[in-house]
Each structure stands twice: as structure tokens, then as C-alpha cells.
Amino acid sequence: MFKMIKKFFDFCSEKNRNKLYKSVFLGVLEAMFTAIKIPAAFVAIKAVYEKNVDTKAILTVLGLMLLSTIGKMTISRFSSMLQTEAGYDTCALKRIEIGEHLRYLPMGYFNDTSLGHITSVTTNTMEQVGDIATRAIMLVLQGSLTTVIVALLMFTFDVRIGLISVIGIGLFVLINRWTNKCVAKVAGEKIEADKNMVGIILEYIQGIAEIRNYNIIGQNQSRVQKAIDRKKNADISAELSAIPAVGVQNLFVKLMGVVIAGASLSFYFNGTLDIVYTITMLFCSFMVFEALDTAGTFTALLKVIGKGVDLANEILDIEQMDIDGVDYKPENRDIHLEHVSFAYENRKIIDDVSLDIKENTTTAIVGPSGGGKTTITSLIARFWDVNEGSVSLGGRNVKDYSFDSLMENFSFVFQRVYLFEDTIANNIRFSKPDASMEEVIEAAKKAACHDFISALPNGYDTVIGEGGATLSGGERQRIAIARAIMKDAPIIILDEATANVDPENEKELTEAIENLTKKKTIIMIAHRLKTVRHADQIIVVDKGKIVQKGKHDELMKQEGIYKNFITGRRKAVSWKIG
């Protein structure tokens, strides 16, 4: 129980941990104010029994009860506020910390499975921890403290009753451990089912276009339904496992009250306990385990807190790339790959690649799908770290740069563009948040998207759907190019940027790319002849190796992948229906 509470305390920032420590101290005071009811009851019982109910006795009892009530209410308010602030603030900060941590993980970590897991942890799990932690920890700590202080106070009335109370607390701890073990057996499946459900639903939503296109809605709905059923069954199983154990625990607490009451009466009848003390102990028998009863019920929820903390820490423990380099500004942007090899999950993707890309030149990378084209650009931009060899920018290993200073040299336009659910203006100024509206419009004009933006109902203040769902593919691409123009990085990486653009948008998009790439170092992955034939060098990649290198005319004189690729493209373009 206390191990789980300590785990959450360690999970908190120093500021929030101090709030929790203060709340524990206040909890001790609150328990002491609660225990004041016992001497108040003792004074009242003694006065009545001795028929000495005078003004002094009445004022003493009222004073003690008033002190107990006001003190408990006042301290409870401050203690609850501290715990609530600490709980919710911790989860909010952890979401931010996870987001910052993810920035510097290798890109290979991110796939459909990991995204579902991350989404589940940062939303459902952190929400549960935030809601449960503040309530459960407050009730468990307060209940435990109140019980211990009341039990200690009972020692002052009768050592034997005090010992029975302590033994009862010890037995309760043992039963509580058994209860927690029962809950722990199903807690893992409950969390795993939650993660699985979020991942499958996320995949279903992201792939809804393909699902509808290939008419496999029934199959995918079945996967979603199975995930939801698994989550439902895990939740029910968790409840069914906890209820009997918690029931036994609660029954034990009630029986211990009966035992204390029985022992008090027994001591009275054998003449070893005064009647006033006996009645006071009867009063305590209802009070001593009352708070522990509530605390015991909520200790099961501490497992959920502990599991949530573990899941968040698992993400935060994923090894980041070494990002503690120096803020360099290279004298030139020459790029050099020296015998680079890279494997992902024991599968070699890049095999002994050496390559030079001079500043302000255009390099086109072509080759069969899955050959390693995108991976090479990712290694250049240090989305991953190489396993062997080195990548350098301006004569310096990219690992020597701080990650942020390295990224200042690159702009990316991918085939799959992601836009945020925000205004078009804010999406364009994403790389330069303080950019003026004039700068935004200038970038949009260069990206050939000013006209269609101006035609929208709210112009640049139009809020686009998540992922840019309310725009066409060409419009999204041009906004992405405007974003890259705004960044004005010296190296541009284009990964199939025009692959899926419709003919109506191709002219505007080509113009936008020309504006983006003026006086820049260009690295492009492309399948279209017009985008590669004028490149300063063309790299042909197959099975992780560079199999051809040269200009268009040179490669066309060689038998190989490039010539076959260009010939096939020409035939496809000239093909007509007779």
C-alpha cells in the first residue's frame, strides 16, 4: 500500500512532491483533530456517570467538539487542495514530459502499435491516475493516519484495548495485501486491453478511407468490437476479482470493532476496567476502524495508480538519441556518408553506403520500393542513428550537433502531409511561431496557395480539420511547402512530395517546389522523370546499397535499374487506349 503511494510521490515533480508532503503533515494534524472527539466523549461520559454535569464540563465538551470540527474542516480543505493540485498537475506535466521525450526518440519507434500505446498512456491512463490518485491517496493516507492515532490514544485509556487495536491493524495489513494481489492479477490485462482498444480504434479511424474503399468495414468493425469486448471483459473481471476480496476486508474491519467492544465489556465484567473507560472504549470501537474501512476500499485503486505510473515511466525510460551536442552553425552544408550501415529490428536496411552531396546541388534518389531511399534521408537528418559508419554535415559528425541546431538546417516535405487542427495561418507559421501575417502571406504566395486560401470563408483564419482532412491532397502539400518556405532552411528533403497529386494541382505544386528550392541543397526521392533528369547527381538505391550513381545522360547509357525505370515510365506515359 505505502509502496504504491511512495511510487506516486517519486513520480511527481519536486514542487508537487512537496505539496504531497505538506498534505501528509496536515493529514496528521487532521487525524489528531479527529481523535479529539475521544477525550470529549470521555469528559461527557464521566460527567454524566458522576452526575457532575456542570458548566465547566459542558463548556469543556463543547470546546473540544468545536475544536475538533473546525480544525478538521479547515485542515481538510487545505490538505485536499494540496493533494488535488499535486495529482492533476503531475499528470499534466507528465504528458508534456512524455511529449518532449518523444521528440528525441528514433523515428523507428513510432508505428501503429506504439502510437496506440502512447495515446492510451497520455490520455486514458494519465486521466485515470489524475482522477484516482488525488482521491485514493487522500483517503488511504487519511484513513491510515486517523486509525493509528486513535489506536495510540486508546493506549492511554487501556493498554490491553490498545494492543487489540494494533493487532487488528496488523491483520488488516495482511488481508489488504491479499486483496491487492487479487486485483493485481487482472490489473495488467485491464491496462493491456485498454491500450489494445485505443490502438485498434486509432488505426480504424486513420484507415477509414481504405477500409471503405475496399469494402472491409465488417472485418474491421469486428476487430474494433473484439477490442471493445476485451476491454469490457477485463473491466468486469477486475471488478469481480476485487469485490470478494474487498468484501472480506470490510467484514474483518467490522468484526474488529465487535472484538474491541466485546473485550471492553469483558474487562468491565471481570472488574478490570472502569465503567467510564468501558463506555469510552465502546465509542472508540466504532471509530478506530471506521476510517480504515474507507482506506482499505481504496487501496485496490492504488494498483491502478502504480500501473499507470509504470506505463508512463516505460515510455520515459526508452533510450533517446544522444542530443547533448553543441549548437554549431556549419560553414557549409556539404553532406558526407562514410560506409554507413543501419538495421532495424535485426533487419539490415542500409548496407555500407558512402555518398557525397555538395552544398547547393540537387540529388535525386530513385530505386525500387523498400530499397532504403527514405532511410538514407532519415539518417542524413538524424531521425535515426547509424549502426556503423558516420554521417557528417559541414565536415562535422551530425552526432556532434545539438539536435535543435541540426534541425535548423533541414526542411522536409513528405508524401503524407500532417496539418494540425488549427488555422491555416498557424499551420504555415508552425516553424516560426512569431511570424507576422505579412510573412505568412508571402510564404503562401511563394507556395502557390494564397489564391485558394483567400477563397475560403475565413481566409487564413480558416480552421482546418485534424490532419488537414478538410483540404485536398494538393492543397495540403502546398501548405506544407509554405511551412518549409517559412522555415527557410538551407537543405530541403522532398520525399515523394508530388507522388499523389492530381493533374489540376501539379502545375501549382511544381511552381511551389521551385520557389522552395531556389539556392538550396536539394535531396529528393522521386519517381517522375521530369523531377530527376536535371539533378546534379542521381543515386539509385536497391536492397540498401547504392547500385548506380551519376547524371541522367550517364545513367541512360548504362544497363541497369535506372534505364529500366525511365524506359518503363516513358512507356506508361505514352500508353493510350486505341
What confidence tens digit (pLDDT) does each residue in 404-426 have?
888 888 888 777 777 788 888 98
Q: How confident is the model at residue 41 (pLDDT cuts 50, 70, 90)?
A: confident
Query: What is the grid cell recorded at 455?
Result: 477563397
CA-closest candidate to residue 530, choices 376, 354, 351, 364: 364
Say which range, 16-25, 176-185, 341-350, 474-483, has the weakest mean pLDDT.
176-185
Average pLDDT, integer, range 172-192: 74
DSSP labels, 488-518: T-SEEEEESTTTT--HHHHHHHHHHHHHHST
Q: Is the pLDDT of residue 116 over 70?
A: no
Name the 3-class secondary structure at 347: strand
Q: Is the pLDDT of residue 447 over 50?
A: yes
pLDDT given for residue 209 in this prediction: 54
Average pLDDT, integer, range 66-70: 90
Q: Is the pLDDT of residue 336 over 50?
A: yes
Looking up cell 557549409 gives 332
pLDDT given for residue 338 in this prediction: 92
Average pLDDT, integer, range 419-436: 85
CA-closest candidate to residue 549, choices 372, 405, 353: 353
pLDDT given for residue 332 in this prediction: 86
Calculate the alpha carbon distances from 502 to 228, 273, 474, 505, 568 in Å.
38, 95, 7, 6, 21
CA-closest candidate to residue 494, choices 566, 410, 429, 563: 410
Average pLDDT, integer, range 523-536: 75
Higher-confidence position of 307 and 550: 550
Q: Is the pLDDT of residue 246 over 50?
A: yes
pLDDT digits over 54-66, tens only? 888 889 889 988 9
User: Is residue 119 exposed (0-12), middle (13-18) or buried (19+ Cβ within 10 Å)?
Assistant: middle
Calculate the alpha carbon distances from 509 to 79, 105, 440, 484, 505 in Å.
60, 32, 18, 13, 6
pLDDT digits over 70-111, tens only? 988 888 888 888 888 888 888 888 888 888 888 777 766 665
The helix (H) or strand (E) run that includes residue 389 is strand 388-393
Query: What is the grid cell recorded at 492?
Result: 530541403
CA 177 to chain centre: 30
Q: Which residues contact 447 (CB under 8 A, 6 or more apart)?
A: 478, 479, 481, 482, 485, 512, 515, 516
Instruction: Give the burial string for 297-335 (b: 16+ CB within 10 Å, else e).
Output: bbbbbbbbbbbbbebbeebeeeebeeeebeebebeebbb
Average pLDDT of every residue of the chain: 80
Q: How far apart are CA 525 and CA 496, in angstroms?
A: 5
Q: Are 198 and 122 in contact (CB under 8 A)?
A: no
Looking up cell 504555415 gives 428
pLDDT given for residue 392 in this prediction: 92
Higher-confidence position of 136 and 542: 542
Q: Is the pLDDT of residue 577 over 60?
A: no
Looking up cell 560506409 gives 339
CA-closest candidate to residue 470, choices 508, 433, 422: 422
CA angle 23, 25, 26 (to 5 degrees): 60
Instruction: Give the burial string for 542-577 (b: 16+ CB within 10 Å, else e).
Output: bebebebbeebeebeeeeebbeebbeeeeeeeeeee
Query: What is the grid cell recorded at 356?
Result: 557525397
Q: How far apart are CA 398 and CA 326, in angstroms?
A: 10
State residue 148 phi and psi, 5-degree precision.
-65, -45
Neighbours of 513 (CB within 10 A): 23
Region of residue 110 (phi > 0: left; psi between -120 and 50: alpha; otherwise: beta): beta
Q: Are 149 and 256 in contact (CB under 8 A)?
A: no
pLDDT digits over 264-303, tens only? 999 989 989 889 888 888 888 877 777 777 777 777 677 7
Calculate the alpha carbon distances from 557 to 199, 362, 553 in Å.
50, 21, 7
pLDDT given for residue 574 in this prediction: 47
In order of start, what are the domains of the chain with their CATH numbers? 2-316 (1.20.1560.10), 335-574 (3.40.50.300)
Q: Give the long-range contacts of residues 304-308, CB within 8 A, separation 24 or more.
A: 304/128, 304/129, 304/132, 304/187, 305/4, 305/7, 305/8, 305/129, 305/132, 305/133, 305/136, 305/137, 306/4, 306/7, 306/8, 307/187, 307/188, 307/191, 308/121, 308/125, 308/126, 308/128, 308/129, 308/191
